[in-house]
C-alpha cells in the first residue's frame, strides 16, 4: 500500500511537469500607427541625439538654478504623493510574492489534545470501547497544486505585469510632481521679476510726483500733472499688492510639493536671472512609447489582462493537488512519538466543477472585455501623448516668434519714454505724454517677463510630455 501511494505521488509530479500547458493568448503589445515626425516642429530646432541626452531623472538641472535643484531633491524625498506611489508599488511587489507562493507546496503542522465522550448507542461501537477517551495527535500536512493548465503561472505573470505598471506609475508621479514644482518655481520667479519692474516704476513715479508737487506749488504747472503721476503711484501700489499675493500663493505650492508646511517655508526673491533657457531638440514620436511612464503603465495593464484570460479559461479544467498528512496519534500522552503510534496518508486529489450556472464562461467574457478595454486605453494614451506634445510645440513655436517682437517693443517703449521726458523738460510736450510713455514702457517690460516666464514653463511642459529631457 505504501509503495502504491508513492508511485501515484511521483507519477502525478511527472505528469504535472510534462503536460503543463497554458490557455493565455499569445501576447503582443497593441499596435498604434505613429507619425514619422511631429507636425509642429520648428525648422530651427535640432534633432536630438542619444549621446546628448541628459538623465531623465535629473532633467530639471538644464535650468542651471541651484535653488531649484535643491527643491526638486527635497520633493523627491519628502513629497507625500510620491511616498504614496512608492507604497502602492511596494503593495504590488508583495502581491507578486504572494502569487509566487503558488509554485511551492504549502506545509503546516498540526497538534491537538482532546477528551471525548462517545454515545453508548453509537452505531458499530465495540463492546469493550470506553465511554470517555483521550485523543492526542501531533504531525504535519502538505499540499501542492499541480499547475497543469497554467493558472498559477498566468496569475504570477498578471501580478508581475501589474507590478511593472505600478512602477511606471511611480515614475509618472515623480515626473508630474517635479514638473509641477519646476513650473511653479519659474512662475514665482517671473512674478518676482514683475515686482522688480514695478518697484523701479514706483520709485520713478514717486520722484516725479514730488517734482510735480513742487512745480505746482511754485505755479509752474497745473495740479493735473501732479494728480496724473500720483494716480500712477496708487495704481502701481495696488498692482504690487496683487503680485505679492500671487507670489505668496506660488511659494505655498512649492511648500506643499516639497512636503513642508506652508507656514514654515520661505524663499528669498531672486527673479528670473538665475534660470537658463534650455535649447530645443526633439526625438521622433516613436520614442514616446519608450520614455513616457504613463504609456508604459498602460501597456503593462494590457499584458496583465491578457494573462487574466488564461486564468479564467483554466477554471474549466480540474484542479489537481497532491496532499500528504502524517504524524502520531494516541489516546495516551506518554510515548506518543513511537513507531506504533505513527499514521500517514498521501495521494493526489482532483476537483472539477460540473455546473456553475455559466459563472466561468462569464468570467472569461469579463477578462476578454477587460483586455479590450485596456487595449483601447493604451492606444488612446499614446494618441493623447502625441496631441499633448503637438499642442506644446505649436505654443512654443508661436510664442518664440512673438517674443522677438515683444523684446523689440520693450526697447522702443523705453526710448519713447526717454524722449517724452526730455521733451517735457524742454517744455515742448505736456506731462500727459510722459504718463502715456511710462505706462507703455511698464506694460512692454511686463509683457517681456511674461513671455520669458511662459517660454521657460513651456520647456517644462514639453519635457513632461516627452517623458524626460530630449
- How far apart (Å, rounded) are the C-alpha atoms in residues 24 and 149? 10
Beta-strand pair 342-351/106-117: unpaired
Q: Are 221 and 215 in contact (CB under 8 A)?
A: yes
Q: Specify the pLDDT at position 360.
A: 92
**In terms of Cα–Cα distance, which of 156, 97, 110 is closest to 323?**
110
List beta partners, residue 135: 114
Q: Are 247 and 188 in contact (CB under 8 A)?
A: yes
Q: Are 137 and 111 in contact (CB under 8 A)?
A: yes
Is 109 in a helix, a strand, or coil? strand
Q: To which H or E segment does residue 347 belong? A: strand 342-351
**In terms of Cα–Cα distance, which of 276, 82, 264, 90 is closest to 180?**
82
Q: How many CA atoms lie within 13 A of 25 on its CB side?
A: 16
* Local structure of residue 339 (DSSP, 8 states): G
Beta-strand pair 342-351/132-146: unpaired
Q: Specify the pLDDT at position 52.
A: 38
- Cα first-last separation, the chain: 72
Q: Specify the pLDDT at position 283.
A: 64
- How far apart (Å, rounded) are the C-alpha atoms in residues 456 and 277? 6
Q: How many CB atoms lie within 10 A of CB 42?
A: 15
Q: Going edge to edge, which strands form the sheet with 319-330? A: 106-117, 132-146, 319-330, 342-351
For the record, the C-alpha cell of 313 comes out as 479559461
Q: Specify the pLDDT at position 16.
A: 52
Q: What is the pTM of this model?
A: 0.82
Q: What sign has the CA pseudo-torsion 258, 263, 265, 266? A: positive
Q: Are 133 and 116 in contact (CB under 8 A)?
A: yes
- How far apart (Å, rounded) are the C-alpha atoms in residues 217 and 205? 18
Q: Specify the pLDDT at position 231.
A: 82
**In terms of Cα–Cα distance, which of 317, 32, 65 is closest to 182?**
65
Per the rule left: phi > 0, alpha: psi between -120 and 50, beta: everything else, 22 is beta
List beta partners, residue 282: 47
Number of continuous H segments (helices) and E segments (strands) in the chain: 9, 6
Burial 123-150 (b: 16+ CB within 10 A, else e): eeeeeeeeeeeeebbbbeeeebbbbbbb
Q: Would you write out the chain's pLDDT as a tens digit for each of its 470 residues? A: 455 555 555 555 555 554 567 788 888 888 888 887 777 776 666 555 543 334 456 889 989 999 999 999 999 999 999 999 999 999 999 999 999 998 889 999 998 888 888 888 888 788 788 888 888 888 999 999 888 888 889 999 999 999 999 999 999 999 999 999 999 999 999 999 999 988 888 887 787 777 777 777 777 767 777 777 788 888 889 999 999 999 999 999 999 999 999 999 999 999 998 898 887 766 667 676 677 889 999 999 999 999 999 999 998 989 889 899 998 888 876 777 777 888 888 888 888 889 989 999 999 999 999 999 999 999 999 999 989 988 988 898 888 888 888 888 888 888 888 888 888 777 777 667 777 787 888 888 888 899 999 999 999 998 888 887 76
Q: Specify the pLDDT at position 84.
A: 96
For the record, the C-alpha cell of 310 comes out as 488564461
Amino acid at each position: 500500500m505504501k509503495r502504491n501511494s508513492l508511485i501515484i505521488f511521483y507519477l502525478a509530479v511527472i505528469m504535472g511537469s510534462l503536460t503543463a500547458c497554458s490557455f493565455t493568448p499569445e501576447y503582443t503589445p497593441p499596435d498604434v500607427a505613429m507619425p514619422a515626425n511631429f507636425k509642429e516642429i520648428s525648422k530651427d530646432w535640432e534633432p536630438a541625439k542619444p549621446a546628448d541626452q541628459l538623465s531623465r531623472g535629473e532633467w530639471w538641472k538644464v535650468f542651471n538654478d541651484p535653488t531649484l535643484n535643491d527643491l526638486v531633491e527635497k520633493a523627491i524625498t519628502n513629497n507625500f504623493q510620491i511616498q504614496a506611489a512608492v507604497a502602492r508599488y511596494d503593495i504590488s511587489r508583495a502581491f507578486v510574492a504572494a502569487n509566487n507562493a503558488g509554485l511551492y507546496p504549502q506545509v503546516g503542522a498540526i497538534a491537538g489534545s482532546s477528551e471525548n465522550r462517545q454515545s453508548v448507542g453509537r452505531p458499530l461501537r465495540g463492546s469493550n470501547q470506553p465511554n470517555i477517551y483521550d485523543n492526542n495527535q501531533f504531525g504535519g500536512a502538505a499540499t501542492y497544486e499541480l499547475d497543469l493548465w497554467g493558472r498559477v503561472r498566468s496569475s504570477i505573470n498578471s501580478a508581475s505585469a501589474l507590478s511593472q505598471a505600478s512602477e511606471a506609475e511611480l515614475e509618472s508621479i515623480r515626473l508630474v510632481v517635479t514638473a509641477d514644482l519646476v513650473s511653479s518655481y519659474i512662475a514665482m520667479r517671473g512674478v518676482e521679476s514683475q515686482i522688480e519692474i514695478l518697484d523701479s516704476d514706483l520709485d520713478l513715479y514717486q520722484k516725479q510726483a514730488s517734482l510735480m508737487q513742487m512745480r505746482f506749488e511754485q505755479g509752474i504747472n497745473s495740479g493735473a500733472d501732479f494728480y496724473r503721476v500720483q494716480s500712477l503711484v496708487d495704481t502701481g501700489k495696488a498692482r504690487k499688492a496683487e503680485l505679492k499675493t500671487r507670489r505668496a500663493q506660488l511659494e505655498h505650492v512649492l511648500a506643499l510639493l516639497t512636503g513642508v508646511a506652508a507656514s514654515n517655508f520661505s524663499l528669498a526673491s531672486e527673479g528670473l536671472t538665475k534660470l537658463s533657457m534650455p535649447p530645443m531638440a526633439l526625438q521622433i514620436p516613436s520614442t514616446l512609447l519608450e520614455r513616457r511612464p504613463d504609456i508604459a503603465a498602460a501597456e503593462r495593464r494590457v499584458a496583465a489582462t491578457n494573462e487574466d484570460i488564461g486564468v479564467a479559461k483554466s477554471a474549466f479544467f480540474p484542479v489537481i493537488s497532491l496532499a500528504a498528512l502524517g504524524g502520531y496519534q494516541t489516546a495516551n500522552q506518554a510515548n506518543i512519538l513511537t513507531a506504533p503510534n505513527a499514521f500517514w496518508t498521501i495521494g493526489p486529489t482532483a476537483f472539477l466543477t460540473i455546473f456553475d450556472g455559466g459563472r466561468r464562461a462569464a468570467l472569461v467574457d469579463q477578462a476578454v472585455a477587460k483586455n479590450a478595454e485596456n487595449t483601447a486605453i493604451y492606444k488612446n494614451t499614446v494618441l493623447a501623448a502625441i496631441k499633448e506634445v503637438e499642442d506644446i510645440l505649436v505654443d512654443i513655436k508661436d510664442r518664440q516668434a512673438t517674443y522677438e517682437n515683444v523684446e523689440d517693443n520693450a526697447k522702443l517703449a523705453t526710448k519713447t519714454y526717454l524722449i517724452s521726458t526730455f521733451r517735457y523738460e524742454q517744455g515742448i510736450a505736456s506731462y500727459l505724454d510722459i504718463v502715456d510713455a511710462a505706462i507703455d514702457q511698464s506694460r512692454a517690460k511686463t509683457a517681456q517677463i511674461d513671455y520669458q516666464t511662459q517660454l521657460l514653463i513651456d520647456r517644462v511642459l514639453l519635457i513632461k510630455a516627452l517623458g524626460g529631457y530630449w
